[in-house]
Amino acid sequence: MIILIGLIWFNNQPSSNQPNTSPTNAPTLESSSRGLPSSTPQRQQATTRPRPTATAKPTTRPRQTAVPSKPTPRPTAQATRIPERDSAGLRYVAFGDLPIQAQETIELIEQDGPFPYSKDGAIFSNREQILPSKPRGYYREYTVETPGSADRGARRIVTGDNGELYYTDDHYASFRRVRR
């Protein structure tokens, strides 16, 4: 009898290759085909323990999936940097950095006068060839008052037909392009 129980027990053990898919309380095909009486004790689930298949601690670290990504661009001062010189190589000067008299002259130019000097609005010939080369009549000159000067002084605003503004404080020896 002990041998018979041992054989039944051995046959009901799941093999390491195949999982046991039959319920543990139901009679197996093998036990019913052998003609064993129904009074034969059946194996109960509570009396057997499943083999452990998972551990409390992971056996390997979970892999992180590599996701290709583009680096986030960082804003830089270079991206919004304003050039120091124009295409002709002339330095820029901000409107607000000009002497107040030069700012007032530009405002008069934008309002189309009235101008304090009769020569204001006259053609500037660009004989010094410091400004970009343009046809005669392209540039016009306007006086920037110089406090304490008995005459028109050395300061001028020169305009171009396309709206360019240039400032000189040394009577045409050098120019800076006005950035509005």
Most confident of 39-43, 65-69, 83-87, 133-137: 133-137
Which one has a higher pLDDT value, 59 or 155?
155
Task: Give CATH superfamily name and number for 84-179.
Answer: Microbial ribonucleases (3.10.450.30)
CB atoms within 10 A of CB 176: 19
Q: Please indicate, yes or no, whether the overall pTM of this predicted structure exceeds 0.85.
A: no
Our measurement of the distance from residue 98's CA atom to the centroid of its chain's CA atoms, rounded to an integer in Å, reads: 36
Q: Which residues belong to the active site?
A: 141, 171
Alpha carbons 173 and 180: distance in angstroms, whole number? 22
pLDDT in tens, 89-141: 899 999 999 999 999 999 999 999 999 999 999 999 999 999 999 999 999 99
pLDDT in tens, 11-61: 776 655 555 554 455 454 444 444 445 555 555 555 566 665 655 665 566
Sequence spans of domains, the chain: 84-179
Token pair for residue 164?
Answer: 């360019």
Instruction: Return the pLDDT at 2.
Output: 77
Q: SS3 for 101?
A: helix
